[in-house]
Structure 1
Amino acid sequence: MYVVLLHYTAPLEEIDYVLPDHAEWLARQYEHGNFLASGRRNPRTGGVIIARPMLRGKLDAILATDPFALNHLATYEVIEFSATRTAPEFSPVNEAVAH
């Protein structure tokens, strides 16, 4: 699994202008089963995405299609981790604890 930390590199006015496109991009990633959760950071300096287990290259390719990336409005910090314990709702997507 991955935790992706988005760091805005542009003023919020520019972020807000591209936000509808970013929201559509997120919706497509959920439809494809790539993401488990996402949301804004507080304070609003970026966002957080929790991505399913996948090859790192695939995740990097997905992130490169984000309108924030295409418009050079954010950078991405990707943290890979192996969940060894999860809530029951996560066990189907976590190969470490799946039955």
Structure 2
Amino acid sequence: MFVVSLRFSANRSRAPELMAAHNAWIQRGFEDGVFLLTGGLNAGEGGAVLAHGLTRAELDARVAEDPFVAADVVRAEILDIAPGRTDPRLAFVKG
């Protein structure tokens, strides 16, 4: 399981022109079953994605395809989490 932090960079002003493409990238992640959750970070600092069901290399490639990442509107940081204990509702993330 992965947590992807997408924090705005100095090119934040380009976000409006790329928003439709970024949203299409998010939609594809949900359609593919990879994204479990997306949302904004407090204080308008960017966004986050909870992802699963793929390798780190596959996620790196997917994140690189985000128009916001490609245009340096956001900088991505990926945390790789090996789930140990989960609520029963999240048992599927343990693989």
Q: TM-score, normalised by structure 2?
A: 0.89
Q: How many Å separate the matches in 1 of 2:64 and 2:15?
A: 16
Alpha-carbon displacement from aligned partner over 1:35-90 (angstroms, at most 9, x marks no partner):
11111100111111111042110000000110101212111111111111222222
Other-structure match for 1:88 = 88
Amino acid at match of 2:10: A
Other-structure match for 1:19 = 19
Higher helix share: 2
The runs of 5 or more residues in structure 2 that have no matched partner are: none
Alpha-carbon RMSD: 1.5
Aligned pairs (5 A) from 1:8-87: 8-10=8-10, 12-87=12-87
* Number of aligned residues: 95
Q: % of aligned pairs identical?
A: 32
Q: TM-score, normalised by structure 1?
A: 0.85
Superposition misfits of 4+ residues, deviation over 4 angstroms: none
Alpha-carbon distance change, 85 to 48 in structure 1, aligned in 2, over 3 angstroms: same
SS in 2 for 1:43: helix
The runs of 5 or more residues in structure 1 that have no matched partner are: none
Q: How many Å separate the matches in 2 of 1:80 and 1:39?
A: 18
